[in-house]
Amino acid sequence: MAEIVYPPVIGAARTLFRALDLKIRVEGAERIPRTGGAVLVSNHISYLDFIFAGLAALPAKRLVRFMAKKEVFDHRISGPLMRGMHHIPVDRAAGAAAFGAALKSLKSGEIVGVFAEATISQSFTIKEIKNGAVRMAVGAKVPMIPIALWGTQRLWTKGHPKKLLQRHVPITILVGEPLHAKRGDDYDAVTADLRERMSALLDRAQRTYPEIPPGAWWQPRHLGGTAPTPEEAEKMDAAEAEARAARHKS
């Protein structure tokens, strides 16, 4: 397919990152296949995660088609960009269409990016994930590649002001070993394995992150930060879901 929008967007983003002197560290990029389909499964801590997760595939000269909520495609500014980059809209009320589109992309040799937690983790730990990524990988007969992002939450995340022009922020991108699943496997067990791998990558990214001030809001509670605990974050998510449902009813 023609790539008119994606390369200039990447170029503009990288230019901005250099101007801001973001300290981007990528490890394991050689695990991204240079050809063929794959499901890139990332944690989700920032509204900018798809940009940074996509950087992991650049050394392999690959572009990632990310699955993102439909509302992003409806926006007058982000919508044309998302469509131009051939990302995949997800309507939570009709997820079968998005699943089918992702499967088609994978079978045609594309890399599809998935945020398996569905929403941003306000605790900055890995939330429970569903088996959609596993079902896609099995259906297309492609590997899953776990990724952990860390530091992106400092730029723009849920419940905190945007700091898009913050300078010198370290960003860590860790790419894990591919995980292969096949038809007949216990998808929930494979999903649990995937989550454990993502959690281990994220823990390493967090523990090797430089310059952590005590009590940082962007650090998880179990590592001395003041982010909500997973239990507190779960309650916050539930309250947001209830409020969203109430708005749709009115």
Confidence of residue 89 (pLDDT cuts 50, 70, 90): very high
Exposure string over 61-74, b if 16+ CB within 10 A, otherwise e: ebbbbbbbeeebbe
How confident is the model over 25-49, as pLDDT tens digits? 999 999 999 999 999 999 999 999 9
What average pLDDT does range 7-11 have in this prediction? 96
Choose the weakest-confidence range: 1-5, 6-10, 30-34, 134-138.
1-5
The verdict on pTM exceeding 0.85 is yes
The domain spans of the chain are 6-214
Sheet holding 23-27, edge to edge: 23-27, 170-175, 144-150, 38-42, 111-115, 64-69, 88-90
Architecture of domain 6-214: 3-Layer(aba) Sandwich (3.40)
